[in-house]
């Protein structure tokens, strides 16, 4: 019995390490892609959405101001999830839906113009609970939590 339990624990540990390695590889690839843009104003924000019941999810955002945004979310319950952007005046615009792997890439300068905050939710409209909220301004260094 102990041999089977030990074998099972080893399999679980290896599977967990594989998932973490895959997530890390995705994040490194995203960072490399943005650095290739030559963005002097690159902002990287780590977001953690914690509740009293524990962590709901996390994300990393790579933002080259007004040029490109890469959003990678992980540890979220089953979706779909929608990403929204807002400016200092509070006007909202849809940035798109997360792919099944939790990613969203935006290379549309018009869509990203004057965006200083993003958040996700489970509604196709910007209503309901905000999940994974972040400030994108390089002046305030970003933030996390909702």
Structure-model confidence comparison of residues 132 and 56, the more confident one:
132
> What strands lie across the sheet with 92-97, from one edge to the other?
92-97, 82-86, 117-121, 131-135
Question: Model-level pTM?
Answer: 0.66
Instruction: pLDDT band for 99, please (50, 70, 90 cuts).
Output: very high
Q: Which helix (H) or strand (E) holds 100?
A: none
Output phi, psi for 120, to 5 deg: -115, 160
Structure-model confidence comparison of residues 81 and 35, the more confident one:
81
Predicted confidence at residue 66, as pLDDT, reads 75
Domain assignments of the chain as residue spans, ordered by start: 2-135
Within 10 Å of residue 104's Cβ, how many Cβ atoms? Answer: 22
* Euclidean distance between CA atoms 1 and 48, whole angstroms: 39
* Euclidean distance between CA atoms 146 and 130, whole angstroms: 6
Structure-model confidence comparison of residues 20 and 44, the more confident one:
44
Structure-model confidence comparison of residues 115 and 20, the more confident one:
115
């Amino acid at each position: 019995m102990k041999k089977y339990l030990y074998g099972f624990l080893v399999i679980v540990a290896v599977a967990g390490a594989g998932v973490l390695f895959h997530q890390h590889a995705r994040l490194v690839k995203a960072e490399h892609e943005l650095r290739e843009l030559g963005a002097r104003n690159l902002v990287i924000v780590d977001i953690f959405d914690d509740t009293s019941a524990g962590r709901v999810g996390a994300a990393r955002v790579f933002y080259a101001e007004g040029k490109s945004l890469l959003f990678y979310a992980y540890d979220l319950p089953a979706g779909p999830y929608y990403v929204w952007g807002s400016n200092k005046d509070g006007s909202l615009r849809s940035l798109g839906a997360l792919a099944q792997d939790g990613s969203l890439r935006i290379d549309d300068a018009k869509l990203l113009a004057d965006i200083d905050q993003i958040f996700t939710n489970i509604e196709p409209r910007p209503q309901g609970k905000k999940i994974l909220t972040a400030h994108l301004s390089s002046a305030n260094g970003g933030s996390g939590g909702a």
